[in-house]
A and B are shown apart, each in its own frame.
Chain A
Amino acid sequence: MGHGVQVQDLPGIGKRYDLDLGQRAGRISVVVRNDGNRDLYVFTGQSGDPTAVVELTEEQARKLGALLGGTFFEG
């Protein structure tokens, strides 16, 4: 994986990718489950518990990915 991204296997669930956003902004963990759903964990550094957790279906994750990647600009 690229610099600043760590991968962790979660047997029976899927894989987790941890992304460092730099000192102030916090960090994000993405869990890609075997069933295709994704969990987006957002940490803003208040504690070890996540600030927000969003569950996305495969379809929603693809849309969000396209938006974040800057390739989705319909209408």
Chain B
Amino acid sequence: MHADLVAIGAVVLAAGLLARAGRRIGLPSIPCYLVVGILLGPGTPGPVLIEDPAELSVLAALGLVLLLFHLGVEFPVEQVLGSGRRLFLAAGCYIGLNVTAGLLLGFALGWGTAEALVIAGGLGISSSAIATKLLIELHRLTNAETPVVLGIIVIEDLFLAFYLALLAPVLSDATSPLGFVRDVAISFGFLVLLFAVARYGARAVGALVGSREDELLAVLVVGLVLLVAGLSEQVRVSDAIGALLIGLVISRTRVRERVERLVLPLRDVFAAVFFVTFGLSIDLGALETVALPAAVAVLATLTCNLAAGVVTARLFGLNQRAAANIGLTVLGRGEFSLILVTLAIGAGLDGRIGPFIALYVLGLAVLAPLLAAKSRYLARFIPDGLLRSRWRYVREETISTACTHLDQISVTGTDLRECPQCVAEGHGWVQLRLCLTCGAVGCCDDSVGKHASAHFTRTRHPIVESLEPGEDWRYCYLDRALVRPPLGREPDATPR
């Protein structure tokens, strides 16, 4: 490494300042870091702070390794395994659609099979960092679809681990089919070994690095991570996988939380260097030649995401607004796409992937926050027929799981298909609502009688369900919101 401290400091400071300015207009950090790299690098006119991106290669590699290590450490294994079939279906659909689109586009570009596989991964895996930041900034942490979105992200991370393992042999220089098979075997064997360590040896690893002092814990963990990542690269499994899996091992030790906290700032700094370094390697002229494919890729991802959002909403019985929120929140691409491409370029694949993915990530990182904030407008255009239940009156409403009156549900169905009070008074009604506390049936607020609301006013029973065929939404009069139990708790399993 020959770059002097002045240049590195100036570049990192510029990256931080631009990201800070970007935050004011709701931009994520990753595109800002990339732009600084592109602008201050050798590939563009204007000031060149760092002549050769390779000068930063060690620091950037540290960023890549720490990004994946931290992902492994905070990976919620138990939650994923217990998350149920629906979530796996939803995530499978999301990943399947996007990876297929990426693969088709990759082959259509004609840069090669290995390149197509890298593009498939780059387009298929969304940025956890951008999605979680969006959920926090758009104040959506109490929405019903948010645990679903987070679940999809976590399963995507799991997919990434397997995809990296699959790519490792593709990216190695095996020429014969036999060599290829051998590389696949080594790569998966290494995975199995590290999984076994995570399962049975976590205690020993924890005892080895688990110092009571933060200083020593940080030093020991970073040393261990770099060693395992380096060794993985030596056996031709990428350093990325090694880092991810040693993270999984650490996540099963008792020092997990401290390591997470200690490594976070290190990860953020070196990841920024990684993104800037990636930007430095991008030539402005090369960006123009890949502009069209990148634009097509952005459109393909947008389409796949919306389709997956609708499928997910259908699976979980959510409305149009939730479908739009799901599709648009996981739209951002970032760290994982860039990691895959870095590995690909390191393995000597077609250099055009670099600028292509850079432009694609920039496009989506800017689009995702803009579109996600406006999901309400998109919700208007999603037809009822695509979702499982009909949401005629409540298409654009946020569904909340933060309703604390769900414990007052003790009735979940009725055979009654008339409003008894309307029948007694001798007039008709528009729609029927079922009181979920006592089972009383009343007519909706568009009816003459408004007997459901009257029932609430009299009894204070908070939650009603629509009795219309094909509808099953629940509304809480006290919270004035559509409500549903949190993910994983089925309506029928509600206590009492």
Contacts and interface: CB of A to CB of B under 8 A. Distances in A.
B141 A6 contact: no
Interface in A4-22: 4-6, 8-13, 16, 18-20
A29 B405 contact: no
B66 interface: no
Contacts of A18: 142, 401-404
B141 A31 contact: yes
Contacts of A19: 404
Interface in B460-495: 460, 478-483, 486-487
B24 interface: no
A13 B481 contact: no
B478 A48 contact: no
A47 interface: yes
B233 interface: no
A47 B147 contact: no
A49 B460 CA distance: 22
A11 B79 contact: yes
B479 A9 contact: no
A12 B74 contact: yes
A45 B147 contact: no
A67 interface: no
A30 to B, nearest CB: 10
Contacts of A34: 74, 260
Contact of A16 (B74, B142, B404, B406): B142
A12 B402 contact: no
B139 A4 contact: no
Contacts of A48: 143, 397-400, 479-483
Contact of B79 (A4, A9, A46, A47): A9
A12 B128 contact: yes
A9 B76 CA distance: 10
B147 A10 contact: yes
Interface string B80-101: 1000000000000000000000
Interface string B230-264: 00000000000000000000000000000010001
A18 B403 CA distance: 8
A9 B141 CA distance: 10
Interface residues of B, number: 39
B461 to A, nearest CB: 12
Nearest to A45: B480
A74 interface: no
A41 to B, nearest CB: 5
B318 interface: no
A47 B76 contact: no
Contact of B404 (A12, A27, A47): A27
A41 B404 contact: no
A43 B400 CA distance: 11
Interface string B53-74: 0000000000000000000001
Interface string A25-59: 01101010111000101010111111001000000
A29 B487 CA distance: 16
B151 interface: yes
Nearest to A9: B79
A73 B257 CA distance: 33
Given A18-B402, A19-B404, A20-B405, A10 B480 contact: no
A10 B399 contact: no
A74 to B, nearest CB: 29
B417 to A, nearest CB: 28
A11 B405 CA distance: 24
Contact of A29 (B141, B151, B460): B141
B423 interface: no
A13 B135 contact: yes
A39 B143 CA distance: 14
Nearest to A18: B402
Nearest to A35: B264
A43 B481 CA distance: 10
A41 B142 contact: yes
A71 interface: no
Contacts of A35: 264
A53 B153 CA distance: 24
A75 B396 CA distance: 49
A53 B69 CA distance: 32
B478 A29 contact: no
A4 B460 contact: no
Contacts of B264: 35
Nearest to B406: A6
Of B142, B151, B399, chain A has the most CB atoms within 10 Å of the CB of B142
Given A4-B404, A12-B132, A45 B398 contact: no
Chain A to chain B: the 5 pairs with minimum beta-carbon distance, closest first: A48-B481, A20-B404, A48-B398, A48-B400, A18-B402
16 contacts: A4-B404, A8-B487, A10-B146, A11-B79, A13-B135, A26-B479, A27-B404, A29-B142, A39-B141, A41-B402, A45-B480, A48-B398, A48-B400, A48-B480, A48-B483, A50-B139
Given A8-B401, A23-B460, 12 more contacts: A10-B147, A13-B141, A13-B150, A16-B142, A27-B404, A43-B400, A45-B478, A46-B480, A48-B398, A48-B481, A48-B482, A49-B398
